[in-house]
A = this chain, B = another copy of it.
Amino acid sequence: MVVVMSPKATDEDVARVVDMVEDAGGEAFVSRGKHRTIIGLVGDTERFVALPLPGLPGVDELIRVGKPFKLVATESRPEPSEIPVGGTLISRRAVCVIAGPCAIETEEQALAAARTAKAAGAHILRGDAYKHRTSPYAFQGLAKRGLEILAEMRAETGLPVVTEVLHTTDVELVASYADILRIGARNMQNFQLLREVGKLHKPVMLKRGLSATIEEWLMAAEYIAQQGNQEIVLCERGIRTYEPMTRNTLDLSAVPLVHRLSHLPVIVDPSHASGRRELVAPLARAAVAVGADGIMVDIHPHPETALCDGPQALRSEEVGPLIADIAAVAQALGKPLAGHSHGLSAVGG
């Protein structure tokens, strides 16, 4: 941590900072410049952050050096994390494909999408029973009935499933059905929910908030990790910008940055980022090329009748070519598609 003093700070102002730091068990190194003095603090940053330094007379600015996250930081683990989901691993060694309906609307629609995903080579199925909608008048999901259909998708295909948990009160129920729970973008800073899933012994996928910085995203993961659950998969899904042609702007730089800053794997959701079917395949290819550990895409057997996000869902016949394309890119870059699970472990047992 560095304390930048104001040009008008007096010797007493400087001494006051030094005393406070030393009282807290730290060391303070003073550099007196022509225009201003800066003080380098050496010791326990967390203790320094708690000190009332910002309001002291003569103090202009505090600059934090280093990053505030700990458990999810690269430094805390020698090797990248590998997260087992059913029989598949989400890891930096291979590219994982997650596919399925955005919302589970009917048994028929959901199973059709699940079969398409399986046939095309997906590793994990998605399908939501609880939907987060901007309007209270929009379709909000089938709730428990949706989870039952999810279980059918799982049983029929043998693939593990990911589904969103919206509310703290649903965590237990959703966890009894899901192989991996998803925290949506709008809930990225719902810290109560993060703490609840942090208590589970089950993987969690954490989507980046609509206007979250990468640092805030990793701090949200830290909330989960702090409760004891470090089986976290990050998911980049676009950030809010001024550009109106896409729903959000996919920030692919986040992938290599997360790989440097954290040991967690990171996947990309091009469907929700763009909101446009025709952009899903090119962005999925780009995600794999930038180094993502997986992609997640929406599929709908009849997108034109979808109750939620139809314009972004891939048609059944588009899924196979997309996976073939990303397999080719993955292969070219020496990080192949993930292998497939051989049998599911029991869920909710």
Q: A-side interface residues toward B, CB under 8 Å? A: 2, 4, 7, 27, 29-36, 38, 40-44, 46, 49-50, 52, 54-56, 61, 63, 65-66, 68, 75, 132-139, 166-169, 186-187, 189-192, 210-211, 213-216, 219, 222-223, 226, 239-246, 249-253, 255-257, 260, 273-274, 278-279, 282-283, 285-291, 302-307, 310-311, 325, 328-329, 331-333
- A49: chain B residues within 8 A (beta carbon): 137-138
When C-beta atoms are compared, the residue in chain B nearest to A7 turns out to be B75
- A283: chain B residues within 8 A (beta carbon): 252-253, 256, 290
Min CB distance A178 to B, Å, is: 18
- A288: chain B residues within 8 A (beta carbon): 289
- Which single member of B29, B36, B168, B286 contacts A65 (CB below 8 Å)? B36
CB pair A243 B252 closer than 8 Å: no
A317–B331 CA distance with the chains assembled, in angstroms: 24
Given contacts A63-B2, A242-B242, contact A303 B167 (CB under 8 A): no
When C-beta atoms are compared, the residue in chain B nearest to A243 turns out to be B213
When C-beta atoms are compared, the residue in chain B nearest to A256 turns out to be B282
CB pair A219 B135 closer than 8 Å: yes
Given contacts A278-B260, A287-B286, A304-B54, contact A34 B40 (CB under 8 A): no
CB pair B34 A42 closer than 8 Å: yes
Contact sample, A vs B, 22 pairs, CB 8 Å cutoff: A29-B30, A29-B31, A31-B42, A32-B42, A34-B42, A34-B43, A40-B40, A55-B311, A132-B191, A133-B191, A135-B222, A167-B168, A239-B241, A241-B242, A245-B257, A250-B253, A252-B282, A252-B286, A256-B279, A285-B290, A289-B289, A289-B329
When C-beta atoms are compared, the residue in chain B nearest to A191 turns out to be B132
Of listed A36, A216, A286, residue having the most chain B CB within 10 A: A286
- Which single member of B27, B33, B192, B304 contacts A42 (CB below 8 Å)? B33
Min CB distance A164 to B, Å, is: 13
Count of this chain's copies in the oligomeric assembly: 4
A273–B252 CA distance with the chains assembled, in angstroms: 11
Min CB distance A257 to B, Å, is: 6
CB pair A136 B286 closer than 8 Å: no
CB pair A282 B255 closer than 8 Å: yes
Question: A68-B137, A256-B283, A332-B332 are known contacts; what are 15 more A-B pairs with Cβ within 8 Å?
Answer: A2-B2, A27-B31, A40-B40, A54-B310, A135-B219, A211-B240, A213-B245, A241-B242, A241-B249, A250-B252, A252-B283, A282-B289, A282-B291, A286-B287, A328-B333
A2–B7 CA distance with the chains assembled, in angstroms: 16
Of listed A169, A187, A190, A244, residue having the most chain B CB within 10 A: A190
CB pair B135 A68 closer than 8 Å: yes
- A279: chain B residues within 8 A (beta carbon): 253, 256-257
Min CB distance A37 to B, Å, is: 9
CB pair A55 B304 closer than 8 Å: yes
When C-beta atoms are compared, the residue in chain B nearest to A198 turns out to be B136
